[in-house]
Amino acid sequence: MNTPTDLPLSQLKQYWGYDSFRPLQREAIDCALQKRDSVVVLPTGGGKSLCYQIPALCTDKVAVVVSPLISLMKDQVDSLVANGINAASINSSMSDHDKANVADQIPSGKLQLLYLAPERLVLSTTIRFLQDVGVAFFAIDEAHCISSWGHDFRPEYRQLSSLKENFPQTSVHAFTATATEQVRADIAKQLNLTAPEMLVGSFDRDNLLYRVHRRSDALTQLREVVDRFPKQSGIVYCISRKEVENVSATLNHNGYRSLPYHAGLSSFARSKNQDDFINERTDIVVATVAFGMGIDKSNVRYVVHMGMPKSIEAYQQESGRAGRDGLQSECTLLFSGSDFMVWKKMTDASQPAAKELLEAMYGYCNRSLCRHRMLVEYFGQSLKKKNCGACDVCLGELNTVPEPQIVAQKIISCVHRVDQRFGANHVALVLTGSSVKRILELRHNQLSTYGLLSEHSKTTVVDWIQQLIGQEFLAQTGDYNVLTITPSGRQVLKGEIIPELYQTAPPATKTSSARDDWAGVDDGLFNRLRELRRTTAEEKRIPPFVIFHDASLREMARQRPSTVAAFGTIPGVGERKRGDYGEAFVARIVEYCTESKISMDQTTQRPPVQKTSRPKAKLLNDAKLKAFHFFETNKPLSEVAEQIGRAKSTVTTYLTDYIREQKIVDPTRWLASADVEKIRAAVQQVGNIESISPMKRLLGDDITYDQIRIVVECIRAETS
């Protein structure tokens, strides 16, 4: 017999088929059971719903869940019913008869979870009814909607402040995936929570691979992502309705299966397209931000943004719809400087945080730092790993600009020469030596900075200017986005700071990261099980992911159980699902294994995901691995760059990583002995191995920054 402390864990195993809780789930469950108010922030895919679903099974009264969208309510209710749990919603799409049937189940305690929209919950008739029958607790899903500082403020959520007045003895629990400290505090204030427990999980989604590319040939860039995930589910976000229609039509013309979704479509069309996506009748949905909050689909393998989102919170929420099942998924963001202006014009000026949120998002796009690190630090956390192994920066997919400090100094100097009175396009025209009429009329062709970057295109220079803006070395002011020099920009001019400037990276050929979710999985069997899941879902008229997540299907294709009993040990297979689906899925597994002559009942568990303990070489992309091979043969860097198709500056970065990992102390394998001695003397004179700029000033133009970095890395190896 279970003791009360064992009950939540036994419910988890019985209904969901898992043996342990994820981080902070048990703490959140205990808050609900102990009637203590809470604010719970867990990333998308972190298991927020279990935090209120499990305690609802441990009480004798109904738990009320506030949800903003009918589609989200339906998905959650379908999943609960499939697990053998009594749950229902009351919403505007139901008949009066159906609503009455649901209400009749509540007084007897038969119904364990009731889903309501905020508008319905605060009706006086609903309040009186719930006061009469009694409520175990209230769970507010998507709670960031109550805060004007949040990214998706909804006025109707503010009405929920009356819950504590009408139910003073009932605990209230707020749940969200994205909330800064300011938003968390505002949620607690707006809901009138009493000394709430603040439970904030890690914002890092380590199963997501982040890439940020400057938009060039957007449709080609999009297809490169889609082609990495053939016939798998993906979401493509666009800023405008017109772009949604164009992108979807182009994808279909090229043989992909996609459907559009935006507020301009009829309610029927939106609902149908969303259902087709959820039920895997189409692979791709192309949408504006009107799509997504109500989507509980677990097996979205990629999310592509065709333009910059309006905030990091929005990006975290939208990109987080990929990989909710915990499996590897990709998030690619394509952007240009014009996106900032588009959102600026569309932003509601009455929202005080809107401009600040937009600028933070723009900075994320233009900074070439670890994507995972930037996201978690935005939400006030830190990333312990030096190399996340799951973003374009840490995978070495970006090409650095040779001598970035010199390029930046030329640009910032030009901004100074035009008296900080012109925008990025004009400055780029001056730097590239344009002879357009405006340049000649202003005599800007006589400036000392005229033509300093003439070997580059105007588009490239504008791109570098945008990167400098994103890194806060330049700023845009006024209605015409005039460029001005920031204090840190003046430090660049003095040689005190070296900016990071990157060229457009070549397209990634595959999704590579430190994780391998396919290890030991039989791909053919996985596809057979996926098809069985789809046909079974159609028969039952429920979404395929309600039956089993991809993670469970992969584990079935890895372990290949031959009996229903063994099938019941697969993570995600609870008692109800074992009874409902065990025989059919086991029969398909046995059939496939017999045909393919492969063994069954592989009890060896999948290899654990290696993270910080894995040798760094395992984290490298193909180009970097090739470079390491050439470094072992002492091949000149110029030849290595040519062989692997990367800029020499990028190869230097690879070399410093190689030196660090191999603990090499002799740089003369790549540099002349005389140059090494000069650099060592400069290091000695400066006295600080981290201060490269002063060394460069001492050494002059004969020695490059790259040469200094190579020697410095060898010196570090000597002392480590």
Q: 246: domain CATH number? A: 3.40.50.300
Q: Tell whether 140 and 255 lie within a shared domain.
A: no
User: Are 341 and 355 within 8 A, CB to CB?
Assistant: no
154: left (phi over 0), alpha (psi -120 to 50) or beta: beta
Q: Which distant-in-sequence residues (6+ apart) come within 8 Å of 293 by Cβ?
A: 68, 69, 72, 142, 152, 317
Q: Tell whether 34 and 149 lie within a shared domain.
A: yes
Domain containing 623: what range? Answer: 619-719
Q: Tell whether 167 and 297 lie within a shared domain.
A: no
Q: Is it the case that residue 428 has pLDDT exceeding 50? A: yes
Q: Tell whether 71 and 159 lie within a shared domain.
A: yes
Mean pLDDT of the chain: 86
- Pull the structure tokens for residue 380: 């006030």
CA 529 to chain centre: 28
Cβ atoms within 10 Å, residue 8: 22
Domain boundary among 182, 200, 218: 200
Q: Is it the case that residue 3 has pLDDT exceeding 50? A: no
pLDDT band at residue 720 using 50, 70 and 90 as cut-offs: low
CA atoms within a 13 Å half-sphere pointing along the CA-CB vector of 494: 8
Q: Is it the case that residue 607 has pLDDT exceeding 50? A: no
Amino acid at 323: G
Cβ atoms within 10 Å, residue 448: 9
pLDDT band at residue 466 using 50, 70 and 90 as cut-offs: confident
Q: What is the pLDDT of residues 20-66, one digit of tens each?
A: 998 899 999 999 999 999 999 998 777 899 999 999 999 999 999 99
Instruction: Please report whether residue 155 resides in a domain.
Output: yes
Q: Tell whether 60 and 136 lie within a shared domain.
A: yes
Which range is least confidently modeled, 158-172, 544-558, 615-629?
615-629
Q: Tell whether 367 and 319 lie within a shared domain.
A: yes
Q: Is it the case that residue 261 has pLDDT exceeding 70? A: yes
Q: Tell whether 450 and 373 lie within a shared domain.
A: no
Which range is least confidently modeled, 174-178, 258-262, 475-479, 504-508?
504-508
Q: What is the pLDDT of residues 95-142, one digit of tens each?
A: 999 999 999 999 988 899 999 999 999 999 999 999 999 999 999 998
Strands 502-503 and 399-400: antiparallel
Instruction: Please report whether residue 613 resides in a domain.
Output: no
Domain boundary among 152, 175, 200: 200
Which range is least confidently modeled, 83-87, 273-277, 466-470?
466-470
Q: Tell whether 229 and 322 lie within a shared domain.
A: yes
What is the full DSSP assignment across 293-329?
A: TT---S-EEEEEESS--S-HHHHHHHHTTS-TTSS-E
Closest CA to 645 of 624, 662, 614, 672: 624
Q: What is the pLDDT of residues 64-92, one digit of tens each?
A: 999 988 878 888 999 999 999 999 999 88
Q: Tell whether 372 and 484 lie within a shared domain.
A: no
pLDDT of residue 632: 78
User: Are 493 and 449 within 8 A, CB to CB?
Assistant: no
pLDDT of residue 101: 92
For the full predicted model, state whether its pTM sits above 0.75: no
39: phi then psi, degrees, rounded to nearest 5:
-120, 120
Q: Tell whether 314 and 242 lie within a shared domain.
A: yes
Edge-to-edge strand ranges of the sheet holding 197-200? 87-89, 113-116, 62-66, 135-140, 172-176, 38-41, 197-200
Give CA–CA dist 703/437, Å, rounded.
40
pLDDT band at residue 532 using 50, 70 and 90 as cut-offs: very high
326: left (phi over 0), alpha (psi -120 to 50) or beta: left
Domain boundary among 546, 565, 596: 596
HEC sequence for 124-173: HHHHHHHHHHCEEEEEECCHHHHCCCCCCCCHHHHHHHHHHHHCCCCCEE
Q: Tell whether 709 and 655 lie within a shared domain.
A: yes
User: Are 411 and 468 within 8 A, CB to CB?
Assistant: yes
DSSP state of 701: G
Instruction: Please report whether residue 528 resides in a domain.
Output: yes
Q: Which helix (H) or strand (E) holds 474?
A: strand 474-477
User: Are 472 and 486 within 8 A, CB to CB?
Assistant: yes
Q: Which residue has the tokens 């504590």?
A: 164
Q: Tell whether 226 and 303 lie within a shared domain.
A: yes
Give CA–CA dist 377/335, Å, rounded.
22
How many domains, the chain?
5
Instruction: Please report whether residue 606 resides in a domain.
Output: no
